[in-house]
Every structure is written in C-alpha cells, then in structure tokens.
C-alpha cells in the first residue's frame, strides 16, 4: 500500500452534510485529498484541492478521478426524492463514478450505502450484512443498486470495494431510532480508513454504526477487519428521548428500521410489510 501522502484520493460529495462533518478529520490522515462536488466546499484547506463534477456528466466524473488511486464516494442525493432525481444522481451517477474509476485504474472505492437499503426489516430483528435487501424507499433502492454495482466491479474488474451501510452520522443521536443506528464522525472516518487501507478487502458490506447498545445490526464483519468504534449512543440517551417526545408515535415507521422512510407513501397493511 502506497504512503497516504503519495496516493491521490478523491472524495465525492465533499460539500454535503456528512462530507462537511468528516473533512476536518480526513485532511490530516490523507494529505492532498481531492474534493469533488457540484458546489465548492467552504473553507478549503491548503492541503485540499477541489475539482467540480456533476455525477450525471461522465466527462466531468472522468476528469475528477483521473490519476486517482482510491475514491471515497459520498456523492449523490442523500434523502428520498422523486424517481428522476434518484435515478440521475444515485443510479446513473453511481454507474458513471464506478465506470470512470475503472477506466482510470482506481484500485479502491469506498461507497456510501445506507441503512435504507434494508429499512423494511423489523426493529425487533437483528440483521447481518448477508440478508436480502429490503429497501424502504426509492433512495434505498438506489443504495442497493450501488452495492450490487460495487460487487460487479469487484468481481469483474478486480477493484477493492467497501460499502458502508451508514446509519445516521452526527455529534449525537437525534431521536430514539437513532440510538440504534447512530455513528460518530470519528467512527465513520475509521471505517473509511479500513476501506482505503485494509489489504484483504475484495468486496465488503459493513454497517456504519458506532458501539450502540440497542443496535439492530450485527457488525462482526467490520470488527474482524479491525473496526473498533469509540462512540456509544447510550451516552446521549436523555437527549434522544427528549427529542423523541416532541415527535410522537408513527404507527408504521416505529415498527421498521427505516423509520419515516418506511411510513412515507405507505399504502400497505403493516402485517404484509417486511420479512
């Protein structure tokens, strides 16, 4: 593995919510980090460079990843949206990224997947990474697509691909659901580091979650790769419960891991939803 300072690492989605949170933590670890997004991030550091790219435009994506050793792919549309928005940003855009990376000889991709790829699993069931995808939204479908695409590029083209099924990144959990799925910025940076550096990775799916007592996910695969999360959602339980009291009950969302993503546009009988 080349020294971090000698590797060109491209970080898409650098101006987004997660990108803004983790950039200050990534910068000292990966000097010369190349940031990419449609909009230039604020407060660009001297060690960072920026290349504007719209994921829906193959030529711009190719220019962004040219000469890259690795890509941290957080770019795309980060919540539920109309089909065409999801299709362009998260499906066509994701394909453009992986194909440009292949053509550029990129060795590693860390892909920001999501818990919403498996959001229709019930909260009472603990799941690993080997379950059938059960997306809770068009957004979740796009993340399941990204995982499948990553597997294709790993198996067919020899790329090392790590998919992070991210829960919710932030300084603390925002409600009771997020007590189960929260991940601190420091812990997600640790997982990104595993994806960029672990010598044995071919294709992996791991959960982007901290050391949470109430977690719905078996993250033993991440632990076997050296993941040692420091964050603990229980440290923030009082805040999460106080915020939850303001939200009130959700007869659909409260049953499933995907929460409001499951409840939105829901027309089924809850007894027929989920595995």
Six-digit token pair at 147?
């995982």
Classify domain 4-272 by CATH architecture. 3-Layer(aba) Sandwich (3.40)
pLDDT band at 220 (very low <50, low <70, confident <90, very high): very high
Phi, psi for 209 (deg, rounded to 5): -145, 145
Report the distance separating Cα 15 and Cα 35, nearest Å.
8
pLDDT band at 4 (very low <50, low <70, confident <90, very high): low
pLDDT at 143 over 90: yes
pLDDT at 1 over 70: no
pLDDT at 141 over 60: yes
Residue 129: closest CA among 219, 57, 30: 219
What is the rounded average pLDDT of the residues 214-231?
98
Which pLDDT belongs to residue 67? 97
State whether residue 241 is helix, strand or coil.
Answer: helix
Six-digit token pair at 110?
């860390």
What are the residues whose beta carbons fall under 8 Å from the beta carbon of 106, sequence distance 6 or more? 65, 68, 69, 70, 71, 159
pLDDT (tens digit per residue) in 17-67: 999 999 999 999 999 999 999 999 988 989 899 999 999 999 999 999 999
Angle at 127 between CA 122 and CA 131, to 5 degrees: 100
Task: Tell me, yes or no, if 227 is annotated catalytic.
Answer: no
pLDDT (tens digit per residue) in 162-195: 999 999 999 999 999 999 999 999 999 999 999 9
pLDDT (tens digit per residue) in 101-136: 999 999 999 999 999 999 999 999 999 999 999 999
Report the distance separating Cα 13 and Cα 42, nearest Å.
13
Six-digit token pair at 258?
């995907």
pLDDT (tens digit per residue) in 144-164: 999 999 999 999 999 999 999
| Tokens 């009771």 found at | 176
Kindly list the distances between the CA atom of residue 132 and the CA atoms of 71, 141, 249, 259, in Å, as whole numbers in the listed order: 26, 12, 28, 18
Which pLDDT belongs to residue 42? 87
Per the model's pLDDT, the better-predicted residue between 3 and 100 turns out to be: 100
Residue 178: closest CA among 210, 151, 156: 210
How many distinct helices (H) and strands (E) make up the chain? 10, 9
DSSP string for 246-259: HH---TTGGGBTTT
Which pLDDT belongs to residue 80? 96
Domain spans of the chain, in order of start: 4-272
Report the distance separating Cα 228 and Cα 226, nearest Å.
6
Write down the pTM of the prediction: 0.96
pLDDT band at 5 (very low <50, low <70, confident <90, very high): low
Residue 216: closest CA among 260, 176, 246: 176
Q: Which of 95, 139, 153, 207 is catalytic?
A: 139
Q: Is 2 left (phi over 0), alpha (psi -120 to 50) or beta?
A: beta
pLDDT band at 199 (very low <50, low <70, confident <90, very high): very high
Which pLDDT belongs to residue 223? 98
Which pLDDT belongs to residue 50? 97
Percent composition of the chain: helix, strand, coil (DSSP 3-state, to 5): 40, 15, 40
Q: Where are the alpha helices (DSSP H) in 9-137?
A: 17-26, 58-65, 83-86, 93-104
What is the rounded average pLDDT of the residues 206-233?
98
């Amino acid at each position: 593995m080349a020294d971090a300072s000698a590797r060109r690492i491209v970080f898409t989605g650098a101006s987004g919510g997660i990108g803004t949170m983790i950039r200050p933590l990534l910068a000292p670890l990966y000097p010369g980090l190349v940031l990419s997004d449609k909009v230039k991030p604020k407060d660009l550091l001297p060690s960072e460079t920026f290349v504007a790219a719209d994921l829906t435009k193959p030529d711009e994506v190719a220019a962004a990843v040219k000469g890259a050793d690795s890509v941290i792919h957080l770019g795309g549309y980060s919540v539920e949206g109309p089909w065409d928005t999801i299709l362009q940003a998260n499906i066509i855009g994701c394909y453009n990224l992986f194909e440009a990376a292949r053509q550029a000889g990129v060795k590693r991709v860390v892909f920001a997947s999501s818990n919403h790829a498996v959001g229709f699993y019930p909260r009472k069931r603990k799941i690993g990474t080997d379950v059938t995808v059960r997306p809770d939204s068009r957004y979740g479908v796009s993340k399941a697509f990204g995982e499948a695409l990553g597997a294709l590029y790993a198996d067919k083209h020899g790329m090392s691909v790590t998919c992070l099924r991210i829960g919710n990144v932030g300084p603390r959990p925002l409600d009771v659901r997020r007590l189960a799925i929260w991940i601190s910025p420091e812990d997600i940076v640790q997982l990104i580091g595993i994806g960029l550096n672990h010598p044995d990775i071919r294709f992996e799916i791991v959960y982007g979650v901290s050391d949470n007592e109430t977690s719905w996910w078996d993250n033993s695969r991440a632990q076997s790769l050296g993941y040692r999360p420091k964050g603990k959602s229980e440290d923030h339980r009082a805040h999460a419960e106080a915020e939850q009291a303001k939200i009130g009950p959700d007869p659909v969302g409260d049953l499933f891991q995907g929460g409001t993503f499951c409840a939105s546009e829901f027309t089924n009988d809850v007894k027929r939803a989920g595995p």
